[in-house]
Structure 1
């Protein structure tokens, strides 16, 4: 039986603790009951806090602890759950958790979920390693921990003995990966089926906002952004934009790179894909019609671009995120 210890703290996301407990506690149990087979518990799961006392999650739920950090014998995996409260405040209040991570044996498996990965980075465990975190905190994480090889497009990262999961509810993706690591693919799939959850999601792209809203003070770029917001569906070339605003193409590119850190053609692609996403979410229009409405005429090129930006085909995106229309 493998031992899982969750390092809990005030302000954590409750489901990132209780959900992990349920998933591991029921591995080898739920599926076997459904199949009328003998139950075989595969994991022992404990909740640890800095002093062994109960903690209060961000939603107000209080969770009792099984032990204190100092009483943890070597576990098969330590898991740091999502920070639900203000990240800086939680980090400042939990120096003992960070110190514990710093001193924990370097060869043991450690996993962080979502913003819980800030704890791993704060302890220096992610320096020069590949990692991920919630896409919404990419900039904050990158600025605070420049030595980390961050890729928030990934839902799950794995570098040596460190696992990181991206989104707030990606604890079940993380848990299934760890179940597969210890007990194989079949047990992981059985766990996923018994909980009715998808397995092997690998990207946060379809959940993230396209990075096109960076604030800046460039009045020219703002005017061009306003223009593109009204004309993105038209066949527009960089030369046309430059001519409209009486500047050279080189000047146009320079201003966009300085203000938004993106080339104008990439910006145009981003707002077109964002417009397509909204139409896929909010209408039942055909994909080819949406493609034309956002400024594309080649179906294969549009689908490749959409998949590159979101990690899904247009139809897959619609199935996952669209409103349910009455029939």
Structure 2
């Protein structure tokens, strides 16, 4: 059997521990029971804590540990769950966890971090020069703290050599299924996904993320332009016309947009249009072509291509996943 250890710590997200534990522990078990065949456990999965003591998760639940970090002599994989509390506090208060991650990296054990748990991998210094992901809401903080990491926060999963990273808070099931496939093959992974009734091989966080268009700043001109564009983004207006409306040069408008929002005006307008399309897909039953026209696009193929590049899915897929009706 494969030995998997989930590295627990105070203020971890409980579901990122118990959920992935269930996933590994029941691989080869639940599906077999459904099919009336002999259950065949594949993984021996245990929770570890610094001293073998219970950990107190962010929701107030105490989870018992099977072993201490020092008792881990050999592992097929170590899993670092989501940080549910203040990230800096958790990083500062878990030196034993950081040390174990560094030791495991030296031994080339598989290391897998989930969501903000990847801050612990980066803090241990093992992600420098490697591709990684984290929760889309923390990507700016991650980039600022760990500039040597090749962060691709649009991805749900990354793998660089023996290190895996998963993006969202509940991406532990994407991570677990991927690791199950890596260890024992696609058939067992897909059986486990079916047994748990969860999607397999989601590849992007983009459809879940916000575009960050409302970044705070102090430029009153750009605030005025934003307010106007929020009401008129569907109109066919050029950047030259926009600059003229607000009595500045095109060059000045672009420069101040970049300084205030880290993007040029045309990218901002695109973002508003895609967000407008997302809202209509969620809340209405309009035809996609009608929605496309309402947000300022005329060419269907261009709209679909842009929508997918921004959200990771097609408009139809987005509606199927997020429609409120």
Q: TM-score, normalised by structure 1?
A: 0.97
Q: 2 CA distance for matches of 1:236 and 1:35?
A: 60
Aligned to 1:193: 194
**How far is 1:214 from its partner?**
1.5
Q: 1 CA distance for matches of 2:74 and 2:237?
A: 61
**How far is 1:47 from its partner?**
0.4
Query: Which range moved further: 266-275 or 246-255?
Result: 246-255
1:143-154 aligned at under 5 Å gives the runs: 143-154=144-155
DSSP 3-state at the match of 2:271: helix
Q: 2 CA distance for matches of 1:311 and 1:59?
A: 31
**How far is 1:211 from its partner?**
2.2
Q: Does the Cα contact within 8 Å between 2:105 and 2:126 map onto a contact in 1?
A: no
Q: 1:61 to 1:240 in 2, by over 3 A?
A: same
Aligned to 2:5: 5
Q: Does the Cα contact within 8 Å between 2:135 and 2:153 map onto a contact in 1?
A: yes
DSSP 3-state at the match of 1:254: helix
Aligned to 1:91: 91
Aligned to 2:50: 50
Aligned to 1:297: 298
**How far is 1:315 from its partner?**
1.0
**How far is 1:320 from its partner?**
0.4
Q: Deviations over 1:240-282 (max 9, x none)?
A: 1011112221121111111111011001000110111111111
Query: Which range moved further: 162-171 or 287-296?
Result: 287-296
Aligned to 1:218: 219
DSSP 3-state at the match of 1:3: strand
Q: Deviations over 1:50-78 (max 9, x none)?
A: 00000111111111100100110111000
Q: 1 CA distance for matches of 2:27 and 2:162?
A: 22
Aligned to 1:319: 320
DSSP 3-state at the match of 1:104: helix
Aligned to 1:100: 100
Q: Does the Cα contact within 8 Å between 2:104 and 2:111 map onto a contact in 1?
A: no
1:167-246 aligned at under 5 Å gives the runs: 167-246=168-247
Q: 1 CA distance for matches of 2:260 and 2:55?
A: 44
Pairing 1:82–2:75 present: no
**How far is 1:104 from its partner?**
2.4
Q: 2 CA distance for matches of 1:172 and 1:83?
A: 16
Aligned to 1:110: 111
Aligned to 1:37: 37
Q: Does the Cα contact within 8 Å between 2:105 and 2:111 map onto a contact in 1?
A: no
After TM superposition, which residue ranges in structure 1, 4 or more long, deviate above 3 angstroms? none
1:243-258 aligned at under 5 Å gives the runs: 243-258=244-259
Q: 2 CA distance for matches of 1:105 and 1:193?
A: 33
Q: TM-score, normalised by structure 2?
A: 0.98
DSSP 3-state at the match of 2:113: strand
Report the count of equivalent residues: 324
Query: Which range moved further: 124-133 or 218-227?
Result: 218-227
Q: Deviations over 1:266-320 (max 9, x none)?
A: 0100011011111111111211111111111111111111111001111110110
Q: What are structure 2's unaligned runs of at least 5 residues?
A: none
Q: Deviations over 1:128-185 (max 9, x none)?
A: 1000000000011110111100010000000011000000000000000100001111
Q: 2 CA distance for matches of 1:89 and 1:75?
A: 27
DSSP 3-state at the match of 2:78: strand
Q: What are structure 1's unaligned runs of at least 5 residues?
A: none
